[in-house]
């Protein structure tokens, strides 16, 4: 059975004309009857393409300032008519409706208009009505009609037409119809997102039209995809294909480093920092970050918030790591880092983190605001007799930023703006603390005078007791336990300072 359909007529109504010229010239060569209106009609006429105005077809002019042009039975009847349906054929003849075999539409740029900061009146006028209706109608009738719903498809359309002299297969029509519904659903979602900024409905709608297949997901037996525009945030300068797990670590790295203004370096492993330091110069920040856990740093992701110089690159190049992220690289530094051909090197162009976070659970989705709160000195409430020194406050705030980005239950130990160790993802806070102390000791750190940060309150005094025994002298935590007094009393009895922030930072 031959499922190919010959293109004999086309309706073209596009906002952007880029790339359209070779298509319409070939349609002219094929002898295709073309209907159009408005700016597209003018564009075609200037190219010398014979075109029939939609107004001549319908008998109605464009009205209401251009809001109504193609919404007419003579247009939609020609698109929706089923060619093998006798009743449809009869009505097409009775009402003298022309068949339309090809619909090419490029919608009004609604999202671009919103992003431009335009006023609401201009944004409303960029909600396409006729175009979206044409797309849906043509896609619905893919058995007989080919729909081209984006200027990005012009090249493929031209290839198909030239290879088959204007005949299009059912598989091709179906494929373009799927893309059309993708375009229309994304367009409607963008409009919904704009209007729901002020009035939120209990409805989850997200649409990201650009997806990239990955080698696999977290494990080789799982499929993986990334939906988003990675190139808007990063320029990839070297290395192998970025993996699903790389992307998770890159996300964790960017979220963490964005909380720090000082010259800082972080080393990320399995979404947690295994090393972090802030210093006055970058190479020292790197050395002190690495000292935090040189074992876990192997195969990790490194991120810095300063341009990488040759000296720092030389020091970094002494270990194996998978990904390097920085705002920029000196020429010599880049040459050094490119010495490993598979090493992924990213230049961070901008930080574009979404305000909402999504996670699939059970048969639904959890949505929450991203945790953007950063505690300051003004947020700290000293609850002990002994007040922290200025240096301790600096370290407490430093450690608190780190624990915010560490998987719960989490403890971070720090001194002199260096992470000494962390306890990550433990089922009890005490276990997280013991893990951190053991790790710090294993790498030769002296915890005397260190500070401790906890992502949530201490339900008992045991954590501050263990921390004091290890040498910790100042503590930062949210507070809020019914037994806060037990921890406060212990600190007072042993000369420790403790501050409450009032903000919990669970991360699961």
- DSSP per-residue letters across 391-408: HHHHHHHHHHHHHHTSPS
Annotated catalytic, 126?
no
- Set 72, 140, 386, 494: catalytic member: 140
Give the three-class secondary structure for 185.
helix
Q: What are phi and psi of 474, to 5 degrees?
A: -145, 145
Give the three-class secondary structure for 385.
coil
Give the three-class secondary structure for 417.
coil
**114 vs 155: CA distance, rounded Å:** 28
Q: What are phi and psi of 222, to 5 degrees?
A: -110, 135
Annotated catalytic, 140?
yes
Q: CB-based contacts of 455: which residues, under 8 Å, 6+ apart?
A: 403, 404, 406, 408, 409, 410, 411, 478, 504, 505, 506, 507
Q: Measuring CA to CA, how many Å separate 486 from each of 428, 472, 501?
A: 18, 17, 18
3-state secondary structure 234-302: EEEEECCCCCHHHHHHHHHHHHHHCCCCCCEEEEEECCEEEEEEECCCHHHHHHHHHHCCCCCCCCEEE
Q: What are phi and psi of 205, to 5 degrees?
A: -135, 125
What the block records as the tokens of 83 is: 């060619």
Q: Would you say how long the chain is, in residues?
A: 508
- Set 25, 72, 270, 386: catalytic member: 270
First-last CA distance in the chain: 56
Q: Measuring CA to CA, how many Å separate 408 from each of 40, 272, 293, 505?
A: 57, 10, 19, 8
What the block records as the tokens of 491 is: 């600190």
- Residue 389 CA, chain-centre distance (Å), reads 40
Q: How many CB atoms lie within 10 A of CB 56?
A: 12
Active-site residue numbers? 140, 270
């Amino acid at each position: 059975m031959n499922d190919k359909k010959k293109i004999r007529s086309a309706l073209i109504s596009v906002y952007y004309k880029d790339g359209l010229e070779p298509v319409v010239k070939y349609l002219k060569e094929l002898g295709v009857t073309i209907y159009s209106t408005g700016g597209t009609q003018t564009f075609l006429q200037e190219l010398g393409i014979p075109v029939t105005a939609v107004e001549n077809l319908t008998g109605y002019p464009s009205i209401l300032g251009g809001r109504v042009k193609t919404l007419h039975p003579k247009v939609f009847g020609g698109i929706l008519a089923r060619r093998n349906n006798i009743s449809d054929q009869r009505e097409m003849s009775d009402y003298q409706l022309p068949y339309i075999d090809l619909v090419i539409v490029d919608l009004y740029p609604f999202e671009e208009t919103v992003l431009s900061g335009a006023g609401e009146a201009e944004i409303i006028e960029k909600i396409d009505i006729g175009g979206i209706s044409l797309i849906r109608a043509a896609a619905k009738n893919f058995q007989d009609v080919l729909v081209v719903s984006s200027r990005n498809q012009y090249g493929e359309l031209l290839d198909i037409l030239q290879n088959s002299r204007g005949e299009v297969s059912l598989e091709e029509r179906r494929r373009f119809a799927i893309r059309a519904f993708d375009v229309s659903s994304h367009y409607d979602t963008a409009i919904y997102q704009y209007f729901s900024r002020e009035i939120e409905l209990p409805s989850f709608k997200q649409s990201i039209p650009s997806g990239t297949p990955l080698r696999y997901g977290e494990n080789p037996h799982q499929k993986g995809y990334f939906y988003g525009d990675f190139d808007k945030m990063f320029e990839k300068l070297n290395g192998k294909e970025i993996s699903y797990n790389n992307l998770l670590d890159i996300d964790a790295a960017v979220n963490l480093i964005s909380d720090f203004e000082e010259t800082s370096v972080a080393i990320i492993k399995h979404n947690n920092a295994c090393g972090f330091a802030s210093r006055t110069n970058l190479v020292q920040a790197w050395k002190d970050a690495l000292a935090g856990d040189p074992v876990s740093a192997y195969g990790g992701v490194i991120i810095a918030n300063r341009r990488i110089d040759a000296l720092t690159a030389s020091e970094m190049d002494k270990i194996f790591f998978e990904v390097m992220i920085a705002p920029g690289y000196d020429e010599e530094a880049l040459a050094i880092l490119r010495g490993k051909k598979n090493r992924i090197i990213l230049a961070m162009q901008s930080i574009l983190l979404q305000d909402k976070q999504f996670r699939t659970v059970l048969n639904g989705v959890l949505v929450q605001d991203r945790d953007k709160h950063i505690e300051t000195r003004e947020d700290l409430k000293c609850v002990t007799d002994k007040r922290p020194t200025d240096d301790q406050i600096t370290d407490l705030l430093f450690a608190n930023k780190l624990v915010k980005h560490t998987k719960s239950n989490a403890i971070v130990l720090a001194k002199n703006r260096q992470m000494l160790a962390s306890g990550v993802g433990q089922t009890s806070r005490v276990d997280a603390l013991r893990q951190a102390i053991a790790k710090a000791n294993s790498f030769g750190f002296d915890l005397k005078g260190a500070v401790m940060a906890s992502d949530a309150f201490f339900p008992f005094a045991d954590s501050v007791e263990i921390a004091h025994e290890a040498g910790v002298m100042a503590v930062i935590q949210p507070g809020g336990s019914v037994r806060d007094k037990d921890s406060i009393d212990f600190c007072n009895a042993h000369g420790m300072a403790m501050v409450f922030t009032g903000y919990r930072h669970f991360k699961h």
